[in-house]
Copies of this chain bind each other. A is one copy, B any other.
Amino acid sequence: MIALSTDDFGLKAKVLTEVLPYIKMHRGKTVVIKYGGNAMQDEGIRRMFASDVVLMRYVGINPVIVHGGGPQITEYMRKLSMEPSFVNGHRVTDSETMEIAKMVLVGKVNKEIVSLINRHGALSMGLSGEDGNLIMAGKRPSEDGADLGWVGDVEHVNVEVIEELLSHELIPVIASVGSDEEGNSYNINADIVAGEIATALSADKIIYMTNVKGILDPSGELISRLDAEGCSRMLANGDVSEGMIPKVSSCLAAVEGPVGRATILDGTIEHALLLELFTSGGVGTMIVQSMDDLLEGE
């Protein structure tokens, strides 16, 4: 990366001026960010992510972070000599696994993100879906005859807690764990939790930080803009790779609901969030309800 010397003062001012219209456009907006994948592994990328989120907050955007932590759960299970098993991509979650999943997500991954952000000040609060009954969940039905155990589906999101934190200019960091009225905990796919929270908040934007560049067309080229109809067609035609299906489906559900835009981007790009928000092209694939929305808003 290029070093900025004293001579770059003019350049710095120029950059800030170019960013101004984007700040104006996003001020006061709520942006749900599904944080995950490789962007979570590399220490340098994690620090950048944290400072990008703080900058968003400082220019008046309301970021809400949702995270899972599959690889970290697997790692701890291995330490404890437990063998993870999966059905259709869902981790089969017995009670012992659930306990470990919760410890890893809430006690480790969540607090790491909170810590990185709070090095810039008392800016974020970590939440599990159990706190204030934030994420009410129910048991996911068996798939292919296999009982998934404590794998859950979101039944209701109590957004008041999130809205309260946002009104105090705090950044909610939410682990993808839910609970039911009996106090049982559920392990829920974080992509889906992020989508449900964005919908419940009527967020302006949802951003999925992944390991891939975005949605690719059959020739392997990145699709930069996609409308709901096109997105729907690709899912129907099987043009979306299997690992991407939950993200793409959640994006589609979000923009067909009250969420303005959904973006899938490569979280390992340095400052991917800033580029997405503060440059004209953005990065990754943006999905909108219809292409007409795109014209008026941007």
Contacts and interface: CB of A to CB of B under 8 A. Distances in A.
A114 B10 CA distance: 26
Interface string A1-34: 1101010011111111111100110010000000
A192 interface: no
A274 B27 CA distance: 19
A7 to B, nearest CB: 11
Interface residues of A, number: 74
B170 A132 contact: yes
B274 A13 contact: yes
Contacts of A225: none
A17 B51 contact: yes
A248 to B, nearest CB: 25
B120 A24 contact: yes
A141 interface: no
Nearest to A115: B183
Contact of A12 (B161, B182, B278): B278
A4 B14 CA distance: 9
A116 interface: yes
Contacts of A55: 16-17, 20, 23
Nearest to A13: B271
A274 B164 CA distance: 32
Given A9-B279, A17-B52, A118-B183, 9 more contacts: A2-B10, A10-B270, A12-B15, A12-B19, A15-B16, A27-B58, A107-B107, A114-B128, A115-B185
13 contacts: A2-B10, A12-B275, A12-B278, A16-B274, A20-B51, A20-B58, A24-B121, A58-B60, A106-B107, A107-B108, A111-B128, A119-B182, A126-B130
Which 10 A-B residue pairings sit nearest by Cβ, starting from the closest?
Answer: A107-B107, A13-B271, A103-B107, A115-B183, A103-B103, A122-B133, A106-B107, A15-B15, A125-B131, A13-B274
Interface of A: 1-2, 4, 6, 9-20, 23-24, 27, 48, 51-52, 54-55, 58-60, 79-80, 99, 102-108, 110-111, 114-116, 118-122, 124-128, 130-133, 158, 161, 164, 168, 170, 177, 179, 181-183, 185, 270-271, 274-275, 278-279, 281
